[in-house]
């Protein structure tokens, strides 16, 4: 039987197709201005890659900030539950999940069954999120995915005192005008994101093993900085952006099994 999970985030929407409890296909598309239309397109693309039709879907679960705008969803579930479920499925020894998305970040602590024990979430501003790094990359005139490249050569990070996206951008522009090397600035930005995230980890209590999800997990400099500050390895799935959608699909699978009993 076939189920799907849809994660509608601020920057991207992901769709995951699960058959008999295992993922068979996924898609990632920009959310754009119309999250409902983007969810439909992401689902269509994922089903096409799975070689399936809409009529074969037994259950659909939506998550993410735009989950209420998914008309074909049978159920809406929070990102906390779905990221925890997805990370635990991929690595059953996961006890701490760090998710940094487009405009929010969260730290989730799991028990040995994968149930959520506690969590902390930053959803009041974009500080330390993908949007923050996107703006900073633009100020440094590098691609978002290349932030770790200039940072890799810097032994000493530049001090970034502000975590507010607007003020930090002005600070970066000022540092550039002062002739501070861009690799030092880039590393300072990555370290500032790690520092803010570690503060959230301390609120819920660090429990190894740690799995990182979300688009920022693709920025190796952030992952490296987090590992150093936490003193434990931070694992990243092969495709960290789809973990929330995978968790949603697994919730759909469990729901289908309960209904079919």
CA 39/CA 179 separation, integer angstroms: 44
pLDDT of residue 76: 96
pLDDT digits (tens, 9 = 90+) for 96-142: 999 998 888 999 999 999 999 999 998 666 677 888 888 888 888 88
Read off the pTM: 0.91
What does each C-alpha distance from 227 to 62, 116, 217, 236 come to in angstroms?
31, 22, 12, 11
pLDDT of residue 125: 67
Q: Are 103 and 131 in contact (CB under 8 A)?
A: yes
pLDDT of residue 87: 98
pLDDT of residue 123: 61
Domains in the chain (CATH in brackets) are 1-91+238-261 (3.30.420.40), 93-236 (3.30.420.40)
Beta bridge partners of 76: 62
pLDDT of residue 140: 87
In degrees, to the nearest 5, what angle opens at C-alpha 101 toward C-alphas 51 and 23? 25
Q: Are 258 and 26 in contact (CB under 8 A)?
A: no
Task: Report residues of the chain scoring pLDDT below 50.
Answer: none
Beta bridge partners of 63: 7
């Amino acid at each position: 039987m076939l189920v799907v999970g849809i994660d509608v985030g601020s920057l991207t929407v992901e769709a995951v197709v699960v058959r008999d409890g295992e993922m068979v296909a996924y898609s990632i598309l920009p959310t754009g201005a119309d999250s409902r239309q983007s969810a439909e397109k992401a689902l269509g693309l994922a089903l096409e890659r799975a070689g399936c039709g809409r009529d074969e879907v037994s259950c659909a679960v939506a998550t993410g900030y735009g989950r209420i705008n998914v008309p074909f969803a049978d159920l809406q579930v929070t990102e906390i539950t779905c990221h925890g479920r997805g990370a635990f499925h991929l690595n059953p020894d996961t006890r701490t999940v760090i998710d940094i998305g487009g405009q929010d970040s969260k730290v989730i602590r799991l028990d040995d069954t994968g149930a959520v024990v506690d969590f902390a979430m930053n959803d009041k501003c974009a500080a330390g999120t993908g949007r923050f790094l996107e703006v900073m990359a633009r100020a440094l005139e590098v691609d978002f995915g290349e932030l770790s490249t200039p940072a890799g050569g810097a032994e000493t990070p530049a001090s970034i005192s502000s975590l507010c996206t607007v003020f930090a951008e002005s600070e970066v522009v000022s540092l550039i005008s002062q002739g501070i090397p861009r690799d030092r600035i880039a590393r300072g930005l990555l370290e500032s994101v790690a520092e803010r995230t570690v503060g959230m980890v301390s609120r819920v209590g660090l429990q190894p093993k740690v799995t990182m999800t979300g688009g920022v997990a693709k920025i190796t400099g952030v992952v490296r900085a987090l590992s150093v500050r936490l003193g434990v390895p931070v694992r990243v799935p092969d495709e960290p952006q789809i973990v929330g959608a995978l968790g949603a699909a697994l919730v759909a699978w469990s729901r289908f099994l309960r209904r079919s009993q």
